[in-house]
Structure 1
Amino acid sequence: MNFLSAENITKSLGLRVLFSNLTFGINQGQKVALIAKNGTGKTTLLKILAGKDSCDAGVVSVRKNIKIAFLDQEPDLPMNKTIFDAVYDAENPLLQTIMNYELALEHPEDSKKLQKAMDQMEAMHAWDYEQRIHQILGQLKIYDLHQEMASLSGGQKKRVAMAMALVQNPDLLIMDEPTNHLDFDMIEWLEEYLETEKMTLLMVTHDRYFLDRVCNQILELDNGTLYSYTGNYSYFLEKKAERELTIAATIDKAKNLFNRELEWMRRQPKARGTKSKARIDSFYETEKIASQRLEDKKVQLDIQMSRLGGKIIELHHLKKSFGEKKMVKDFSYTFKRNERIGIVGVNGAGKSTFLKLLTGDLQPDGGKIVTGETIVFGYYNQDGMKMPEDKRVIEVVKDIAEFIPMTKGKTLTAAGLLERFLFSGDQQYTYVSKLSGGERRRLYLCTLLMKNPNFLILDEPTNDLDIVTLQVLEDFLEEFPGCLLIVSHDRYFMDKLTQHLFIFEGDGVITDFNGNYSEYREYMLLKEESKKAEGKKQKEEVEKPKTEGQKKEETVNVNTAATKARKMTFKEKQEFESIEKEMAQLELRKTEITALFENPSATDDLQKLSQEMEVIVKKLEDKELRWLELSELV
């Protein structure tokens, strides 16, 4: 079933044609990724398909009654609302029903309103949907729903916007760079969610692991032509390479044929019969193919690096706190030449604080930082993206230098440097305000490398960069002879470039892990599985019925066993037995209250029952947790 189709759509930005005469469709169940270079109009195309923008020509058709949700790269959220109001502000009747129920729970004294809300939930079969919404909000770490939108950070706003899109349960979900501002755990949860949910998806992302796991269809916009591949990202790479080889062979064949036919044309045949005219027409078609050039423009990064001395950076018992919150606690490390270190940790764990301590933007509370005299920092961060909007691209570069030193003693003009960063002559005179997100980042990277750094600090460098530029950046960084410190949520990027990791565990604790991110993730999963298996084994041992012979054997060897592992004390055993009885009583009362909810005519005190139910659920959770702790004791 076709959900959406685009026919011959065209869009220009001033004199610049973003795309022309694109035709494609999206069918139910397809999970489609759009891949193209920065500046080719990916974001604009998504907005047109989502109905947030219009095309200059062509038609976009959406199947009747199809519900579309759109996650923008830079979400435009209602700043005058709370998270609760924003998340539940949708035309979806289910969301309206759940919102009414959530509001009724906040005022349980109004029993009639609460009962009405519960009846609506029952009628709409909304209980499972409510649980799903709470799961989404919890996974995205959105807890305080009454927080004002205006008070949120950029990352929090992106997570709220994602929650707003997902809770709508749309037929077609359109997402622009969904992994930006998400930590690793959230990205992996979103991957699993999108992979397992039966939804239709169209997205733009630079996260190659994400593409590989989630998508089953790739659309590539290359030099104005749209190519379609049925398969994931790995399949796309394979088939794209085959396509380019086929095109190259076709051009070579056309060139050979063109040279032969050119001799025939030069003889200017006098005959003008049907065969002759057909051959002339065929000649011009061949000429058209032979004159094609495979455009293989790539960012060239061969700027000279400042000399790196023997001493890099030494950290001695570094400490930093903000009030009661510890960001770095007694951390020591000596950086070595050519090190490639990745930084991993949840948002707020102190990663950005650590980088600012290294560069001197912040001063430590304790300990000291000794920086080598030859160190030249190149610090790629979000603050550096704030370039003057009213300046042209070439003016931004010339403000730093007219001529740039390159490798092997060569120099390059500002215009020549911009050419290497894929800014053509016309684009060099474009105002910064007109650049796409990826083009801004490419320009920022250009200005950063002009300073010839030998210690590169990259804070989320991959956001908004197209995959082609990312591959070139990776190749450059692999050959970069200085030190490299990377904060990134792009797992492929981290795996390819880092040798070991600083793990920010929270409360100021930083540990050094010898390996890349995938190795660290595998280590943590094995550790978690081992812990679960051990807990399960201990629980089975506790619950396993013992024979008389086993009991006698335990009695004989009790002193030996006691030296190997701790058993329950008499008091803990009494508590364990007591908890089981209390849990049974609580479950019984919970069942009774549920029955009263289903038959409200049996009681008038729904408010009191609601409050009692909340207390019972909380007690059950606490007692189950304690029961598990005691059951694991040997």
Structure 2
Amino acid sequence: MAAPPLLTLQDIALTFGGTPLINRADLTISPGERTCLVGRNGSGKSTLMKIAAGLVEPDNGRLFLQPGTTIRYLAQEPDFSGFSTTLDFVEAGLPPNESTYRAKYLLESLGMTGAEDPGKLSGGEGRRAALAQALAPEPDVLLLDEPTNHLDLPAIEWLEAELRGTRAAMVLISHDRRFLSALSRATIWLDRGETRRIEQGFSNFEAWRDAFFEEEERDQHKLDRKIVAEEHWLRYGVTARRKRNVRRLGNLHELRQNRREVRRPVGSVSMQASEAESSGSLVVEARDIAKAYGERTIVDGLSLRVMRGDRLGIVGANGAGKSTLINLLMGRLAPDSGQIVLGTNLMPVVLDQARATLEPGMTVTEVLTGGRGDSVTVNGQSRHVIGYLKDFLFTPEQARTPVSVLSGGERNRLLIARALAQPANLLVLDEPTNDLDLETLDLLQEMLGDYQGTLILVSHDRDFLDRVASSVLVSEGAGRWMEYAGGYSDMLVQRGQGVEARTVTAKKGSRERQSAAPAPQASAKPKLGFKDQHELKTLPARIAKLEAAIVQLKTVLDDANLYARDPARFDKATAMLAQAETELSQAEDRWLELEMLQAG
């Protein structure tokens, strides 16, 4: 017999400022369950999470918590008042008489010593301390809202391993596809105020969501055709006495009302980069450059060429010197030794991680226009700023909104909107994915795929790097950097391990400790055994079989009447399609991995 749910939310509704944010939302959390909560920015995910944590009271609905159940919620803006050190803050979240060992372990694993002054923490350090406090008591339910924000790759991979080993039930909100796919076993989709649930992890969600939207579009198309038919009858099917059929006229009004009330998906972002004239073939060349600050070496003997059209990803632990390296490559910072050569006709645009270029007092319109008029020039064409803002999901009412009241996601979208409006043949993006929802990430990836210029990208998002980068420059420690062909996953295969954590020192004279669990050491060059050789031979046939199955399933789902005629078959075909696409992706990745091992 299945254990009863630990937490249940039923028919939750909440209105903000007269506008319904959540209409009819359900959330059930059972012991040990791993669920991700997904939806567009502004759809109410964080609010629903706060309702589950008991921090926000809904207008309507029912919340039930099993007696004795412990819940920990990862706060976006933790309150550090009253604590002298980060260790004090984390220990405050422990049950009475609980050992402080776990609090110290978590802080060290997240790159902190425990001696930091909470009043002087950066945003990223504050997030790490809050994460340690949420994990420390090992609760029954963990509610984690964007836990990977501001974490570097070693910390993200450590957190994945830590969460895999916990007994707690989890609800995760994250823009990190790889993180969600690794941990989730069920998905709750909050869309237009309502929740829908599938008993599959995030890796199957997007195919299921797309199939749902396609079915919804088919239903709307049928409704449109019925309205046209009724309007035609009213105009041309009237009797000689011109007496209208009141019932039929009423039906038309009802159809029109239904059409107006159709809940359309939230608008999508439209992205297009303004491109300048092509740069020279050589964009940037570093010739044996070195840079150090005191005893700390940032770059040591790096030689690198970035050619026109390259997509270079830069990865490393926080503090490895990624931003310094960008400043060196852009010629903003002189190396201690070596030489930086910049190509001809370069027109760079830089999107900074800290969003420091946004003045809090400026309005959204002023950020885009520079305070001059109400138009913005994109690709040589003048556009009204309101229309351009709509492309990035800003409402007309937000045009005069000061930057200071925007959310993190809105600020990032505004920075991207401004960057893409400027003519450029070199885009330098420092953590562009922070606070973006998954759909906006998709469109940003598509835009970068179509971009004809050169891209230099700093990111901790492994999936984003796999989709965008053509090569990855990795910090090897002690100022050494190494370039690998392909995306992040390709780098892992070639390097044999992930990105190492940077070391931190607790106190003067104390030993150094790793800031996150060390990555596995590279082993000797692997060779293909008999089993691997057999798998490499059979994978092409399996890939072909999966591709044929996907084509057949899509043909079945192309039937516009399938859902109405046989909902069970539609659901089964949708699930089979998602499974086949997942298996195809895994098979292709495995084939590539084995090919590279054989070639090496």
| Same-fold status (TM-score > 0.5) | yes
Are residues 1:150 and 2:119 paired? yes
Is the 1:32–1:218 contact (alpha carbons within 8 Å) kept by the matching residues of 2? yes
Is the 1:385–1:441 contact (alpha carbons within 8 Å) kept by the matching residues of 2? no
CA shift, 1:448, in A, is 1.8
Aligned counterpart in structure 1 of residue 400 of structure 2, from 403, 412, 429: 429
Please name the residue that 2:578 is paired with: none
Distance 1:227 1:76 in 2: 33
Aligned counterpart in structure 1 of residue 75 of structure 2, from 72, 75, 86: 72
Aligned counterpart in structure 2 of residue 457 of structure 1, from 424, 428, 432: 428
CA shift, 1:531, in A, is 4.3
User: Which residue identity lines up with residue 222 of structure 1 in the other structure?
Assistant: D
Are residues 1:224 and 2:224 paired? no
CA shift, 1:518, in A, is 0.4
CA shift, 1:401, in A, is 5.5
Distance 1:11 1:436 in 2: 20
Are residues 1:87 and 2:90 paired? yes
Aligned counterpart in structure 2 of residue 246 of structure 1, from 199, 202, 215: 215
Give runs of aligned pairs for residues 585-596 of structure 1, distance below 5 A: none
| CA spacing shift, 1:35–1:461, aligned 2, 3 Å | same
Are residues 1:404 and 2:404 paired? no
Aligned counterpart in structure 2 of residue 530 of structure 1, from 511, 518, 523: 523
Are residues 1:27 and 2:30 paired? yes
TM-score, normalised relative to structure 1: 0.71
Residue 307 of structure 2: SS of its match in structure 1? coil
Please name the residue that 2:502 is paired with: none
Please name the residue that 1:608 is paired with: none
Is the 2:32–2:169 contact (alpha carbons within 8 Å) kept by the matching residues of 1? yes
CA shift, 1:519, in A, is 1.4
Tell me the alpha carbon deviations over residues 334-364 of structure 1, each in whole angstroms, 9 at most, x when there is no partner.
3210110111211211111111223344332
Give runs of aligned pairs for residues 37-48 of structure 1, distance below 5 A: 37-48=40-51
Please name the residue that 1:478 is paired with: 449
Tell me the alpha carbon deviations over residues 124-168 of structure 1, each in whole angstroms, 9 at most, x when there is no partner.
xxxxxx4x55553443233x2233323443333222211111111
Please name the residue that 1:204 is paired with: 173
Tell me the alpha carbon deviations over residues 57-91 of structure 1, each in whole angstroms, 9 at most, x when there is no partner.
44433222211111123433347421221111135
Please name the residue that 1:307 is paired with: 277
**Percent same amino acid at aligned positions?**
33
Are residues 1:97 and 2:98 paired? yes
| CA spacing shift, 1:18–1:387, aligned 2, 3 Å | farther
User: Which residue identity lines up with residue 389 of structure 2 in the other structure?
Assistant: L
CA shift, 1:246, in A, is 1.6
| CA spacing shift, 1:74–1:231, aligned 2, 3 Å | same
Is the 1:39–1:439 contact (alpha carbons within 8 Å) kept by the matching residues of 2? no
CA shift, 1:420, in A, is 1.5
| CA spacing shift, 1:351–1:245, aligned 2, 3 Å | same
Tell me the alpha carbon deviations over residues 422-481 of structure 1, each in whole angstroms, 9 at most, x when there is no partner.
212223233333322211110111112222222111111111100000000000011111
Give the stretch that moved more between structures: 177-186 or 311-320.
311-320
| CA spacing shift, 1:505–1:530, aligned 2, 3 Å | closer
Distance 1:370 1:262 in 2: 69
Aligned counterpart in structure 2 of residue 139 of structure 1, from 95, 109, 133: 109
Aligned counterpart in structure 2 of residue 363 of structure 1, from 324, 327, 334: 334
| CA spacing shift, 1:209–1:285, aligned 2, 3 Å | farther
User: Which residue identity lines up with residue 44 of structure 2 in the other structure?
Assistant: G
Tell me the alpha carbon deviations over residues 179-200 of structure 1, each in whole angstroms, 9 at most, x when there is no partner.
1122222222222332342221
Is the 1:48–1:54 contact (alpha carbons within 8 Å) kept by the matching residues of 2? yes
Is the 1:252–1:290 contact (alpha carbons within 8 Å) kept by the matching residues of 2? no
Is the 1:218–1:232 contact (alpha carbons within 8 Å) kept by the matching residues of 2? yes
Please name the residue that 1:395 is paired with: 366
Is the 2:484–2:494 contact (alpha carbons within 8 Å) kept by the matching residues of 1? no
Tell me the alpha carbon deviations over residues 555-587 of structure 1, each in whole angstroms, 9 at most, x when there is no partner.
xxxxxxxxxxxxxxxxxxxxxxxxxxxxxxxxx
Are residues 1:381 and 2:352 paired? yes
Give the stretch that moved more between structures: 255-264 or 393-402.
255-264
Are residues 1:256 and 2:225 paired? yes
Aligned counterpart in structure 2 of residue 447 of structure 1, from 397, 415, 418: 418
Please name the residue that 1:108 is paired with: none
Is the 1:419–1:425 contact (alpha carbons within 8 Å) kept by the matching residues of 2? yes
Residue 422 of structure 1: SS of its match in structure 2? coil
User: Which residue identity lines up with residue 149 of structure 1 in the other structure?
Assistant: P
Gaps in structure 2 of 5+ consecutive residues:
240-244, 498-519, 528-600
Aligned counterpart in structure 1 of residue 137 of structure 2, from 168, 187, 202: 168
Distance 1:152 1:246 in 2: 49
Please name the residue that 1:490 is paired with: 461
CA shift, 1:375, in A, is 1.6
Please name the residue that 1:298 is paired with: 268
User: Which residue identity lines up with residue 38 of structure 2 in the other structure?
Assistant: I
Distance 2:183 2:173 in 1: 12
CA shift, 1:384, in A, is 2.6
Give runs of aligned pairs for residues 2-21 of structure 1, distance below 5 A: 2-14=5-17, 16-21=19-24
Residue 464 of structure 2: SS of its match in structure 1? helix
Greater helix share, structure number: 1
Please name the residue that 2:486 is paired with: 515
Residue 98 of structure 2: SS of its match in structure 1? helix
Residue 428 of structure 2: SS of its match in structure 1? strand
CA shift, 1:299, in A, is 1.8
Distance 1:139 1:189 in 2: 8
Please name the residue that 2:301 is paired with: 330
Residue 48 of structure 2: SS of its match in structure 1? helix
Is the 2:330–2:342 contact (alpha carbons within 8 Å) kept by the matching residues of 1? no
| CA spacing shift, 1:147–1:251, aligned 2, 3 Å | closer
Give the stretch that moved more between structures: 484-493 or 50-59.
50-59
Distance 2:232 2:276 in 1: 56
Please name the residue that 1:415 is paired with: 386
Tell me the alpha carbon deviations over residues 304-341 of structure 1, each in whole angstroms, 9 at most, x when there is no partner.
21223314222222221111101011222232101101
CA shift, 1:220, in A, is 1.6
Give the stretch that moved more between structures: 334-343 or 380-389.
380-389
Residue 86 of structure 1: SS of its match in structure 2? helix
TM-score, normalised relative to structure 2: 0.75
Distance 2:392 2:32 in 1: 38
Tell me the alpha carbon deviations over residues 367-416 of structure 1, each in whole angstroms, 9 at most, x when there is no partner.
23232342222221233356333443223222266443334x43222222
Are residues 1:466 and 2:467 paired? no
Please name the residue that 1:614 is paired with: none
Please name the residue that 1:193 is paired with: 162
Distance 1:88 1:29 in 2: 24
Give the stretch that moved more between structures: 512-521 or 467-476.
512-521
Tell me the alpha carbon deviations over residues 460-505 of structure 1, each in whole angstroms, 9 at most, x when there is no partner.
1111100000000000011111111111111110001111111111
Distance 1:401 1:346 in 2: 41
Is the 2:272–2:420 contact (alpha carbons within 8 Å) kept by the matching residues of 1? no
Gaps in structure 1 of 5+ consecutive residues:
100-129, 270-275, 535-634
| CA spacing shift, 1:29–1:458, aligned 2, 3 Å | same
